Amino acid sequence: MRTIKFGVKSSEVYYLNELLAKLNYNVVVSNHFGTATDKAVKDFQLKNKLVVDGIVGLKTWSILFEKTNNGLLANEKLLSEQNLIDFSNAYNLELAVVKAVNEVESGGKGFLVDGRPKILFEGHIFWKELTKRNVNCSAYVNANTKNILFPNYTRSHYVGGQAEYSRLQKAIGLNTDKKFSDAAHCSASWGLFQIMGFNAVAIGYPNIDDFVQKMYLNEGEHLKAFGLFLEKNNLITLLRNKKWAEFALRYNGPAYKTNKYDEKLQKSYLKFAS
C-alpha cells in the first residue's frame, strides 16, 4: 500500500476508510482523504503510539492491518494479467488498450475487506425499478425509508463500503415479495466496474440473481460483465480505433471533459503500449 495523506483521491484511500470504519471511526467510505479521514488517522496514530502526522505510510498501515485483522484479499479474487489477456483476445483489442481502460475506468478494487463485492445503492433507481414492477412507491415512503427510496437522484444518502449493504438489505426487507429483492439488486452498481444491476439481463445474464452470484466470485467476472456491457452498447469498436473522446463521452457522460477521462485513457494507453 502506498503512502497517502490529506487531499489524496485513490483506491488506497477507499481501503483506508474501510478499515477506519471497521474501527468505528465516523468516516464516509470513499476514495477521498478528507477532513474526517485526516482526523480519524491522527486519532488512530495517537492511540497507537505512532507519530501523529496524518500520513498513512508503512507503520500506520501495518498497525491498521493488525488492529482490524485484515490483510489484502486473496489473490484468487483479484484481477490477473491473464484475465486482461483473455479479454483482449476475446474482443480483438490491443492489450495496452485493455490495460488503459482497466486503469482509468475501474474502481481500483472490486471487493470490500470482508470479501463481498463493492456496491453503491441508488435509491432513485430503486424507485424506478419498483415502479416498473407495478409497486406504488409512495406507500412505502416514511422516515425509516427516506435513505433508500426516493424519486430523484441525490448523493446525500451514500455511505460507502460495507454500510451500502445495510441500505441494500433494508430495501430487500421492505416486502417479502421477490419483486422487491430483484428491484433492490437491480438498483445497486456492482464490482470493479460498478455495472448497474438493471443491465444484467440486457447484457446476457439469465436473471439478476445469476448476475449477483457472478459478482461475488472474483474480479475476472467483473471484467466479463464490463465486456458484455461495452459490447451491448457498441463501445468495443471505439476502443479498437482508439477514439478516446467518443468512448469517454459514451461511457462517462458529458462530464468526461471536466474529468479529462479521454486524456487519461490516451496517456494510460501510451504508457502501456511503450
Domain ranges of the chain: 11-68
pLDDT of residue 148: 98
Helix H, strand E, coil C: the string for the chain is CCCECCCCECHHHHHHHHHHHHCCCCCCCCCECCHHHHHHHHHHHHHCCCCCCCCECHHHHHHHHHHHCCCCCCHHHCCCHHHHHHHHHHCCCCHHHHHHHHHHHCCCCCECCCCCECEEECHHHHHHHHHHCCCCHHHHCCCCCCCCCCCCCCCCCCCCCCHHHHHHHHHHCCCCCHHHHHHHHHCEEECCCCEEHHHCCCCCCCCHHHHHHHHCCCHHHHHHHHHHHHHHCCCHHHHHCCCHHHHHHHHHCCCHHHHCHHHHHHHHHHHHHC
> What are residue 56's phi and psi, to 5 degrees?
-95, 95
Q: What's the predicted TM-score (pTM) here?
A: 0.79
pLDDT in tens, the chain (274 residues): 789 999 999 888 998 999 999 999 999 999 899 999 999 999 999 999 988 999 999 889 989 988 887 655 556 788 889 999 999 999 999 999 999 999 899 877 788 877 899 999 999 999 999 999 999 999 999 999 999 999 999 999 999 888 999 999 999 999 999 999 999 999 999 999 999 999 999 999 999 999 999 999 999 999 999 999 999 999 999 999 999 999 999 999 999 999 899 999 999 999 999 9
Res 73: pLDDT: 53
| CATH class for the region spanning 11-68 | mainly alpha
pLDDT at 76: 73
Q: Could you read off the pLDDT of 222-231 as tens digits, one per residue?
A: 999 999 999 9
pLDDT of 110? 87
